[in-house]
């Protein structure tokens, strides 16, 4: 089965052609970073407009790269939410129009389920059930995933998402947007033990997260170290960001391992943009080895937003005869149950 998948939930326009939910024939992503960079964050109105400009060329490119025409496609999958409603509506409206015009079945996909399913694009995917950590710019949640469409949420952030905290700290230090990859790179040569930022563990049994405290601690640290006339030194910046990153990573690793232990599961899957973080990947590998857990890490390009992961989920639903009506709407919030 050939699925055309479309993803426009935030600031990346993505289109992919996926064979049998596993094999990527094409996976095109057009990033809007240059549009939003100067504002230090995604401007929703600009994002929607850019998706409108990009969606047709990106889908065309995806079909051309896969060397197929719409006639050879068996179904269309599109991100329905959660995300920016204006952005989502562009992909959704395009998918509905293409489905209506071609008579193809189409199905709406939850963006969080798509992130959790990105691992199935890899050579040796996990079996079910597994513990899935979704850690991105909009989400930080732990799930027990029993199968496609079968989830139990074990914990989630009570305030900022981890990626959001990375982006805010980078903005505060004038490092650029998006902050995650910049902090990741700078931290490689920084001392993660330089400053002891708080680790929010919440109550002992809670698998929830909180990242606003560590962000505020960085703000306060900067306030007590006013910027000298010549600007902060690179070493000072590295100390802050690597210590901040360490605090975030430590909590993510600890709670994910705890979730696996409490659920009696051996398999752990990471997903979402922050799962591309090198320190998180390294610490998670070390801890999994220590605790005899089996860790599954998607390639970094499948961690950040892309349409291939939407194709994985779309295939699973279309295969079972699940269809969405042409009246399908987009939703900014769409919790997985």
| Residue ranges binding ligand KG4 (CB under 6 A) | 10, 136-138, 163, 166-167, 178-181, 184, 272-274, 276-277, 304-305
Question: DSSP of 73-97, one letter per residue?
Answer: --EEEEEEESS-HHHHHHHHHHHHH
CB of 270 to ligand KG4, least distance (A): 11
Give, for 60, the enclosing helix (H) or strand (E): helix 44-66
| Closest to 108 (Cα-Cα) out of 123, 124, 120, 92 | 92
Residues 168 and 162: their CA atoms lie apart, in Å, by 10
Closer to ligand KG4 by Cβ: residue 155 or 163 = 163
Q: State phi, psi for 287 to the nearest 5 degrees.
A: -70, -40
Closer to Zn ion by Cβ: residue 164 or 305 = 305
| Cα separations in angstroms, 129 against 141, 153, 213, 259, 286 | 16, 13, 33, 13, 22
Tokens found for residue 252 = 């993510």
Closer to ligand KG4 by Cβ: residue 83 or 155 = 83
CB of 120 to Zn ion, least distance (A): 16
Q: Which stretch binds Zn ion (CB under 5 A): 136-144, 169-177, 221-229, 306-314?
A: 136-144
Closer to ligand KG4 by Cβ: residue 104 or 297 = 297
Closer to ligand KG4 by Cβ: residue 210 or 304 = 304
Pick what 163 binds: Zn ion, ligand KG4, none; C-beta below 5 to 8 Å, kind-dependent.
ligand KG4
Residues 300-319 that bind Zn ion (CB under 5 A): 305
Pick what 157 binds: Zn ion, ligand KG4, none; C-beta below 5 to 8 Å, kind-dependent.
none
Residues 17 and 25: their CA atoms lie apart, in Å, by 5
CB of 69 to ligand KG4, least distance (A): 29
CB of 109 to ligand KG4, least distance (A): 13
136 binds Zn ion (CB under 5 A): yes
Closer to ligand KG4 by Cβ: residue 126 or 178 = 178
Residues 260 and 180: their CA atoms lie apart, in Å, by 26
Pick what 166 binds: ligand KG4, Zn ion, none; C-beta below 5 to 8 Å, kind-dependent.
ligand KG4
Are the CB atoms for 308 and 128 separated by under 8 Å?
A: no
Angle subtended at Cα 179 by Cα 225 and Cα 27, rounded to the nearest 5 degrees: 175
CB of 167 to ligand KG4, least distance (A): 5
Say which DSSP state 292 is in: T
Question: Footprint of Zn ion on this chain (CB under 5 A)?
Answer: 136, 305
């Amino acid at each position: 089965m050939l699925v055309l998948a479309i993803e426009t939930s935030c600031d990346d326009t993505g289109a992919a052609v996926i064979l049998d939910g596993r094999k990527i024939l094409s996976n095109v992503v057009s990033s809007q970073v240059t549009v939003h960079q100067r504002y230090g964050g995604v401007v929703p109105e600009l994002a929607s407009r850019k998706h409108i400009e990009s969606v047709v060329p990106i889908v065309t490119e995806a079909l051309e790269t896969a060397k197929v025409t719409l006639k050879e496609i068996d179904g269309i999958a599109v991100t329905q939410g959660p995300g920016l409603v204006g952005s989502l509506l562009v992909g959704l409206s395009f998918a509905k129009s293409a489905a209506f015009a071609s008579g193809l079945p189409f199905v709406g996909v939850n963006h969080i389920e798509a992130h959790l399913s990105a691992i199935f694009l890899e050579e040796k995917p996990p079996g079910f059930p597994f513990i899935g950590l979704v850690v991105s710019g909009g989400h930080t949640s732990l799930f027990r995933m029993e199968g496609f469409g079968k989830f139990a949420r074990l914990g989630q952030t009570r305030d900022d998402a981890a990626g959001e905290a990375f982006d805010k700290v980078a903005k505060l230090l004038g490092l650029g947007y998006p902050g995650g990859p910049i902090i990741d790179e700078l931290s490689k040569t920084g001392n993660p033990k330089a400053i002891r930022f708080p680790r929010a563990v919440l109550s002992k049994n809670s698998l929830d997260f909180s990242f606003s405290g560590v962000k505020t601690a960085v703000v306060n640290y900067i306030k007590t170290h006013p910027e000298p006339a010549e600007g902060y030194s690179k070493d000072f910046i590295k100390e802050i960001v690597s210590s901040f990153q360490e605090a975030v990573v430590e909590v993510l690793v600890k709670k994910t391992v705890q979730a696996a232990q409490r659920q009696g599961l051996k398999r752990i899957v990471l997903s979402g943009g922050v799962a591309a973080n090198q320190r998180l990947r390294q610490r998670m590998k070390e801890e999994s080895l220590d605790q005899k857990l089996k860790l599954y890490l998607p390639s970094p390009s499948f961690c950040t937003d892309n349409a291939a992961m939407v194709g994985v989920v779309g295939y699973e639903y279309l295969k079972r005869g699940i269809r969405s009506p042409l009246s399908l709407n987009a939703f900014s919030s769409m919790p997985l149950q």
